[in-house]
Structure 1
Amino acid sequence: MSQQLPHGVGPEGADEPAAPAAADPPRRRTRAGMPWTTRRALNVSVAVATVLLLVLGGSGVWVHARAADAAVRLVERSSPALIAAGSLENALINQETGIRGYGLTGRREFLQPYHDGLSQEKAAAGRLRALLGHDGPGAQDLARVLDRTEAWQKQVARPVAAAPSGSPVRLAAQRAGAGLRTFDAVRAALGAQQRHLEHERAQARAELHDVGALQNGIFSGLAAVGFVLLVLAVIGLRRAVTDPLGKLSADVRAVARGDFRRPVQGSGPADLRALASDIDGMRQRLVDELAFSDETRAQLDAQATELQRSNNELEQFAYVASHDLQEPLRKVASFCQLLERRNAAQLDDRAQQYIAFAVDGANRMQALINDLLAFSRVGRVHAEHTDVDLEALLGQVLESLSIAIEESAATVTHDPLPTVPGDTTQLGMLLQNLLSNALKFRSPDKPPTVHLSAHRTDGYWQFSVDDNGIGIDPSYSEKIFVIFQRLHTRESYPGTGIGLALCKKVVEYHGGTIGVDHDHAPGTRITFTLADHAPVIPAPTTTEPALQGEATAS
């Protein structure tokens, strides 16, 4: 519908002139006198806030890194190292207990704590090496403990454990003093290691506590600065932006409701005033554009009506011309056949051959006209899409092709076929043309084998018709779907050259695509897709019901 302009507003020649535009404010100033625009105010505010937040944020990141480092040292090094050192001490005490018991009794079961302690010592020492590394005070403490343990093992433990059982071990009594001194050295090394590890853990805890307090202070500062910046931003935005924008929005809404005489005036920062001036200029241009748009729309409507009328006339002409051609052709064929029957005795072989040529030409012309009518009806004569059972439809097609299948000794197989939305008649023509082509263009030295496959993919059904026939040159993969394009002479393979063009039109009408798969060999594979949902069908033209009725009558 054409939008009506209010009285007093319109293109040149209207009753009243449009309201004058608000004067543009000066936009160029020296740097010393540069006005505070919204952009400038926001840039300064963002810069100040960014500097403050970067300083506090950087401090927070540094403190967080220190806290994380202290926590890692406490959780992943100091505490596990203390636990492993305790396990090492227990392992050595178990060894000393087992050696002393075996030395006093000479019974082998007293050596079990010693052997268990050896395994525990190895595991605990491995954990300590992994935690403390190979350098530093912790590694030196561990090395000292292991060296003194090795001395005790060498002087006392191994010789006593190797002594025969059955009675108190004399060697244990002989080396009791040396064993006491060497194991006291082991205990001293273990004690020093425990003290150093506990001191390291205490340092990590203290550092973690200090860093946590500092971190809380920085985060509190960040929250305070953020709150202050938020309050200042709200106040500044309301005074510099929100209130002027509210007035500007009211003027713009009035224009949007159709009050084109209302000028759009701005206040506040310089850029908002400039924006108001630009909008007011756009308001004035909109008045002119609306008038021009109404005129253009009227012209387009008239052209569309004329184009529709012309299309209807062309369709009617094409159908009537095709329909009127069929009656003379039927008469030619009928009278030629009548002439042949009545005068068969007087006609020689050449005359009968001429009559056969005439009848064949008339029949081929009539077939061509029928194919042209079928081709023109696809996409023009519309029917509601219904659910089409392709399995049942294929059965009907095979029944109509039964003579051709029997004469060619063909084998036709197919996958389970789906139910798709579409036009039953058109889909039947699609299957019949594809299968009849597969039977027609067969290899001369073997019976045809045809297979129709189907599988679903991404909202479409993918179909393919495979045969073992003569195949198609890849250079003609597009040409074969053009109407009247033939790759062979009519004497070699009869036909009108419309079949595959009709197939393409049917497939595209159903929202799919069709083509040739040249990876299939030998023979030909025609692939096509059909949408698993009903495509949008344009409304039929006014002449189509009449044409459809005439086509049925013919």
Structure 2
Amino acid sequence: MTGEEGRPRVGAFATWTTRRWLRVGVALSLAILALLGTTGAWVLSRTAAISEDLADVRSPALTTAIRLETAILNQETGIRGYGLTGTSEFLTPYRRGLTEQRANATRLADLLDGEPAGLRDLRGVQKAVARWQVRIADPIAAAPPGSASSLATERAAEGKKAFDRVRDALHGQQERLRAERARARDDLMATTTVRNWVFAAIGTLIVLLTALVFDGLRRGINRPLEQLGTEARTIAGGDFDHAINPTGPADLRHLSGEIDFMRRRLVRELAFSEEARLRLDAQAAELQRSNAELEQFAYVASHDLQEPLRKVSSFTQLLQRRYAGQLDGRADQYIDFAVDGANRMQILINDLLDFSRVGRLHNAHQNVDLDTVLARTLSALSVGIEEADATITHDPLPTLVADPTQMGMLWQNLIGNAVKFRRPGTAPEIRVTAAREGELWRFSVTDNGIGIEPEYAEKVFVIFQRLHTKDAYSGSGIGLAMCKKIVEFHGGTIGVDPEYLKGARLTFTLAPEPPVSIDPSTLPEATRRSGAEHAP
């Protein structure tokens, strides 16, 4: 059904949550079961009461009434025999009958307590028996034994009539008792039938409630959850445009809405990620182009630029050798400046070429014994080490998968700097350590030189950055920048230890194997474009 504006009407139960459905269902089930349980308890109680009345009152009352009749008949038989013969033995059943009459009458009165009709019948029997006993039995029993009683003959007709009234009273009493017992038996049968039907209804209702509960759970919870899971798997399979259809109770519909909101958010994030990936691809392409231009620059610097520089350096050196002392002092100074500038320019170009080649040309990874590399480095720097009277010690160094050329450049720059930046008048003492730290190896190069101020701890790794003039310490300012590039290329980091104040301590880490870098341009086209078709 739809409203006046064409919008679907929300059903009366549309806002019910799973908890509310469960509460209402459990409350109704308990109410119905309580009603049926109360009915069943009443039927059981009624059945027990009727059974108890039948077993403890009706049947014993009828039996006692029959025994009462037997006792009265025994009295009549004994009196008749005594009256006709005068034999005292006939008084024995009479007297026994009197005793049994009193006992059975008392017992019957107790059983019929609270029943006016039964007590009235009992009183009628007792009155009829009492009249018969007063008029017939007691006078005959009082006659002397030995001969027939004339009173028995005289009152024979009256005695018969009196005892017939006793028989009628006894018959009426027993008929009433039989009718009461039959009625109680019928009530018991009817109540038993009702009890059976009630318990059958309880069992049937329990089965129906169980079926309804399972069907309600299946329709209201299991089926919406299965549908939600199916749609979630559809989305997880790549169909991000698949909308989730809310079904079930209000809270499950709310959950479906939240998941669909998350899906839309993920679609937007995927679109943003795809846009970022495209920008990264463009930047990667730009970097490749820039690297190609850098390689071209390196080629030009190594060939075209160095050739005229060698000519300038060679001819300035010729001028210096040929005309030294032949011109004035200012001319000699200018020539020295030109020779020094040409030499420093050549060193700077060579260092710049080495820096640009790190990670680009030198990439021959293999098992490298760092002890061997350090030994070769110390051999190459032996002249400077001997001149500075430096002492170099080191821990056993590991074997890593790395580029041997770059490892040599790393040790040469670090050891060379430790020797070069020494304190005046103090022999350098250099210590190289190595220790495993998780998945990496941590190395340190410690010296007793001039040290590095904490504010320059990051600045020293910037290319062409110098902390001293070229007159104080030679160099191009590329060494530590090259060390940083080599260490990072091998998956590590490098820095200055700010807590060491007795000189300088540079620490760096290296991975046992260098990280694998993936060029985005080498990925399959389908992988690079994954998710693009799902963008909104």
Query: What is the CA distance between 1:28 and its match in structure 2?
Result: 9.0
Deviates more, 1:292-301 or 1:395-404: 292-301
Q: List aligned pairs for 1:264-343, cutoff 5 A.
A: 267-272=247-252, 300=279, 303-304=282-283, 306-308=285-287, 310-316=289-295, 318-320=297-299, 322-323=301-302, 324-343=304-323
- Distance, in Å, in 2 between the alignment partners of 1:349 and 1:261 is 85
- Equivalent residue of 1:536, what SS? coil
> Structure 1 counterpart of 2:355, which letter?
F
> What are the within-5 Å matches in structure 2 for residues 14-25 of structure 1?
none
5+ unaligned residues in a row in structure 2: which ranges? 1-5, 29-208, 523-536
Aligned equivalents of 2:488, 2:387: Cα separation in 1: 33
Is 1:390 the equivalent of 2:370? yes
CA contact (8 A) 2:235 2:242 kept: yes
Deviations 1:290-338 (A, max 9, x none): 9978995996487357524542454245425533332222111111122
* Cα deviations by residue, 1:328-353 (Å, 9 ceiling, x for unpaired): 22111111122334445745665444
The AA in structure 1 aligned to 2:468 is: H
Partner Cα distance (2:392, 2:239) in 1: 73
Aligned to 2:407: 427
Change over 3 Å in CA distance of 1:421–1:407 after alignment to 2? same
Match runs of 1:405-484 below 5 Å: 405-484=385-464
- The unaligned stretches of length 5 or more in structure 1 are 1-22, 49-228, 543-554
**Amino acid corresponding to residue 339 of structure 2 in structure 1:** V
Once the two structures are TM-superposed, the CA of residue 452 in structure 1 deviates from its matched residue by 1.0
**Residues 341, 313 of structure 1: CA spacing in aligned structure 2 closer, same or farther, 3 A cutoff?**
same
C-alpha distance in 1 between matches for 2:291 and 2:14: 67
CA distance 1:468–1:242, change in 2 (3 Å): same
Task: Report the AA paired with residue 303 of structure 1.
Answer: A
| Partner deviation per Cα, 1:399-418 (whole Å, 9 max, x = no partner) | 11011011111111111111
Letter in 2 for 1:443: R
Q: Map 1:6-17 onto structure 2 (within 5 A).
A: none
| 1:525 pairs with 2:514 | no
Whole-angstrom CA distance in 1 between matches of 2:284 and 2:387: 53
Distance 1:231 1:428, change over 3 A: farther
May I ask how many residue pairs the two structures share in their alignment? 336
Q: Which of 372, 379, 382 in structure 1 is aligned with 2:359?
A: 379
1:436-459 superposed Cα distances (whole Å, 9 cap, x missing partner)? 111111111121111111111212
Contact 1:382/1:540 (CA < 8 Å) preserved in 2?
no
- Partners of 2:499 and 2:262 in 1: CA distance: 60
Counterpart amino acid of residue 388 in structure 1? V
Distance 1:463 1:291 in 2: 42
Distance 2:317 2:513 in 1: 50
1:526-550 deviations in Å (ceiling 9; x for gaps): 11121233322344999xxxxxxxx
> Retained in 2: the 8 A contact 1:247–1:266?
no
Out of 325, 334, 344, the position equivalent to 1:354 is 334
Name the CA distance, whole Å, in 1 between partners of 2:320 and 2:441: 52
Change in 2 beyond 3 A, CA 1:453/1:27: farther
Q: What CA deviation, in whole Å up to 9, does each residue of 1:255-308 have, x standing for no partner? A: 87789999865654345566678888999x79x979978995996487357524
Contact 1:469 1:523 (C-alpha < 8 Å) held by counterparts: yes
After superposition, the Cα gap between the structure-2 partners of 1:412 and 1:540, relative to the gap in structure 1 and judged at 3 Å, is: farther
Q: Secondary structure at the match of 1:464?
A: strand
Give SS of 2:396's match.
coil
Query: Using the alignment, how far apart are the partners of 2:239 and 2:394 within structure 1?
Result: 69
Counterpart of 2:249, as a letter, is P
- Comparing both chains, which one has the higher relative contact order based on Cα–Cα distances under 8 Å and sequence gaps of 6 or more? 1
Give the secondary-structure state (helix, strand or coil) at the position aligned to 2:298.
Answer: helix
CA contact (8 A) 1:36 1:269 kept: yes
TM-score under structure 1 length normalisation: 0.51
Match of 2:345 in 1: 365
Deviation at 1:427, TM superposition (A): 1.5
Task: Answer yes or no: is the 8 Å Cα contact 2:435–2:442 preserved in 1.
Answer: yes
CA contact under 8 A between 1:455 and 1:461: conserved in structure 2? yes
Name the structure 2 match of 1:213.
none
SS at match of 1:527: strand
- Specify the code of the residue in structure 2 equivalent to 1:322: A
**Aligned mate of 1:237, from 202, 217, 227:** 217
Deviation at 1:381, TM superposition (A): 3.6
Alpha carbons 1:24, 1:277 under 8 Å: kept: no
SS of 2:352's equivalent in the other structure is: helix
Alignment of 1:180-199 (within 5 A): none
**Identity value in percent:** 53
Query: Which of residues 481, 506, 516 in structure 1 aligns to 2:486?
Result: 506
User: In structure 1, what residue type is equivalent to 2:395?
Assistant: D
Secondary structure at the residue paired with 2:445? strand
Q: 1: CA distance between counterparts of 2:460 and 2:289?
A: 31
CA contact (8 A) 1:512 1:528 kept: yes
What one-letter code is carried by the residue in structure 2 that aligns with 1:354? Y
Aligned to 2:198: none
Mark the CA change 1:389 to 1:231 in structure 2 (over 3 Å): closer, same or farther. farther
Could you tell me how far 1:434 is from its partner in structure 2?
0.9
Output one character per residue of 1:15-55: Cα deviation in whole Å (capped at 9) or x when no partner: xxxxxxxx9865696xxx6643334335778999xxxxxxx
- Higher Rg of the two aligned structures: 2
Query: Could you tell me how far apart the structure 1 residues matched to 2:238 and 2:519 are?
Result: 35
How far apart, CA to CA, are the structure 1 residues paired with 2:485 and 2:292? 22
Equivalent position amino acid for 2:344 in 1: R
Contact 2:493 2:509 in 1 (8 A): yes
Amino acid at match of 1:463: F
SS at match of 2:516: coil
CA pair 24-262 structure 1, distance change in 2 beyond 3 A: farther
RMSD: 4.4
Superposed displacement of residue 251, structure 1: 6.3
